[in-house]
Amino acid sequence: MRNRRRKSPGLILLFLFAVACGGLAWRRGAGIENREEAIAIGDKAQLFVDDHVIETATGVHRQAHEAEKYFPNPVLTYTRPWEGHCVITWGSVLYDQSEHRFKIWYEAIREDPGAGEETYFLYATSPDGIYWDKPELNQFEFQGSRANNIVFHPTAPFDSAVVIRDESDPIPDQRYKMMYYLRTKSTAERGLYGAVSRDGIHWRELHGPLVKAGDRSSFFYNRFRKTYVFMSRPGVPAPATGVTRWIGIWESGDFRSFGIMQPTLWPDAEDAVGTEFYSMQPFTYESLALGYLEMFYAGENDSRYRRLDTQLTISHDGRKWERALDRHPFLEFGPIGSWDGGWVCPASNAPIRRGDKLYIFYQGRRTFHWATRPAQFEQDGETYQINDPAVGHVGSIGLAFLRIDGFASLDAGNTSGVVITKPLVLPPGQDLFVNANIQGTLKVSVLDEAGSPLSGYEASACLPLFGDSVSHRVQWQRGRDLRPLTGHTVRLRFDLSDAQLYSFAVR
């Protein structure tokens, strides 16, 4: 299995010729013909992170977008004795619509002079995602007192706990589900375990391990296949480069019995020497699935040595995954010595939509990997001493923002660009909405399967769109909308200049 197909010399020459002619163009066929099964798009937004819905595109290029870090970060840091010097989002952040507040389950790593490294799973809430309250839950004892916000502390060291809210489960006491890694003294019992809860605070552990896998793991509900999914390190050398940190997948229909591991993603020859996949945090988003790929640069000659940042992956079924956006960083570590200068990775859940923004919470560590091993690092001519054996990991939790559907866009400059979709089966819905930043113009026409404009839906009948909006409503003359086309197979054509096109949806 390869993550990317190698381009033949002929295709490379064709690509260079297209660029030389004044605009990037790509085609999935020699002409607009119904060569494949139509895509039933439903009412979810169709993003342009890849070519899944694109038949042809001319005069545009795909632009990857990075998450924009909030200032002043971090928004949540270590302030309690049981938090040590490190709180991180090896955990989850959810928004409770009924209570109108953010809820975070986060891991604290504490270097205890007597007991060594201790880990605790903690809980906090916030009205806005910026100011957090750490409630006294009175569940677990710390140094003789239960006045703390600890919600989970098993007898063996644990890691990578992930919480999801499972509305599909008919049993209220199981609506919250948690996966976590348990490092027991017995190697036979090490692996990924499960727990369930009614409120996300009082947890009941399930008999385990459910999966025999590595310590840095992830968990999500795959609504495309209706399965619970664990992702982790398989514990054997990767097929291509032989590294030990790469991604395997386990699936279950009931959160009790998981199938055998399926290889999913691993570094290849296009990655720098020593690159490893530390984890992948998957989530469903609108019409697709995306993943935060936690990149670990373990090559001693790499300028990023012992640091970790994040790229994106993409899937259309939650099982087959690919690297996205030419491996462009989605979330980059800060300068050496800064609070997130050594390690950045988002929380284990989908971004949270608030207004026209996506809220993305992430861990930031000042320390590099192997935090108890000190070393000197240079940046801009300055020498920094990073990591302290007496303190260990130093980390906090930050917030980043992204435009709605803003992972990538198709951009057209001053010259005209054209994007034509594959055949699409339109769902019941009145209007077509477009997420776009239009400084020039954008018009949309509806075509039949052969590529001919439908009467009344031509570009000349479309009222031009202007400005920047995540939900431009497309209108044609005489108040024409999409209701007459419900269930029909059509193509959409976007004519744009000086504009960025992020997504579209029929609703």
Contacts 24+ apart (CB under 8 A), 368-374: 368/306, 368/307, 368/342, 368/343, 369/296, 369/298, 369/306, 369/307, 369/308, 369/342, 369/343, 370/306, 372/111
Q: Position of tokens 């608030």?
A: 354
pLDDT tens for the chain, 507 residues long, are 333 333 443 433 333 333 333 344 554 433 444 456 899 999 999 999 999 999 999 999 999 999 999 999 999 999 999 999 999 999 999 999 999 999 999 999 998 766 778 999 999 999 999 999 999 999 999 999 999 999 999 989 999 999 999 998 999 999 999 999 999 999 899 999 999 999 999 999 998 899 999 899 999 999 999 999 999 999 899 987 899 999 999 999 999 999 999 999 999 999 999 999 999 999 999 999 999 999 999 999 999 999 999 999 999 999 999 999 999 999 999 999 999 999 999 999 999 999 999 999 999 999 999 988 887 778 788 888 888 888 889 999 999 999 999 999 999 988 899 999 999 999 999 999 999 999 999 999 999 999 999 999 999 999 999 999 999 999 999 999 999 999 999 999 999 999 999 999 999
- Among left, alpha and beta (phi > 0; psi -120 to 50; other), residue 224 is alpha
Give the residue from 421, 53, 44, 486 showing the smallest Cα distance to 223: 44
Q: Is the dihedral of CA 430, 434, 435, 437 positive or negative?
A: negative
| 159 CB-contact burial (10 Å; exposed 0-12 / middle 13-18 / buried 19+) | middle
What architecture is domain 9-64+408-506?
Sandwich (2.60)
What is the C-alpha to C-alpha distance for residues 123 and 12, in angstroms, rounded to an integer?
A: 52
Residue 208: what pLDDT? 84
What is the number of residues in the chain? 507
Reduced DSSP (H G I as helix, E B as strand, rest coil) percent helix, strand, coil of the chain, to 5: 5, 45, 50
User: Which residue bears the tokens 């992430």?
Assistant: 362
Task: Note the pLDDT of residue 377.
Answer: 79
Phi and psi angles of residue 82, each rounded to the nearest 5 degrees, phi first: -75, -5
> Tokens 């001919």 belong to which residue?
452
469, burial (CB in 10 Å: exposed 0-12, middle 13-18, buried 19+): middle
Within 8 A by CB and 6+ apart from 235, the residues are: 212, 213, 214, 244
Question: How many CB atoms neighbour CB 193 within 10 A?
Answer: 23
Token readout for 470 is 């995540």
Q: Is the dihedral of CA 182, 184, 190, 194 positive or negative?
A: negative
* Cα distance from N-terminal residue to C-terminal residue, the chain: 38
CB burial of residue 27 (10 Å; 0-12, 13-18, 19+): middle
Q: How confident is the model at residue 36, as a pLDDT?
A: 65
What does the domain layout of the chain look like in residue ranges? 9-64+408-506, 68-403
Question: 3-state DSSP call for residue 340?
Answer: coil
Cβ–Cβ contacts within 10 Å for residue 64, how many? 17
pTM (2 decimals)? 0.92
The CATH number for 68-403, chosen from 2.115.10.20, 3.40.50.12780, 1.10.357.10, 3.60.15.10, is: 2.115.10.20
Residue 256 phi/psi, 5-degree rounding, is -130, -45
What is the predicted pLDDT for the residue at 428?
95
To 10 degrees, the CA torsion angle through 209, 214, 215, 218? -80
- Return the bridge partners of 126, or none: 102
Q: Which residues are CB-neighbours of 197 under 8 A, at least 6 positions away?
A: 173, 174, 175, 176, 177, 178, 203, 204
- Which residue, among 503, 473, 493, has the nearest Cα to 417 in the 3D structure? 493
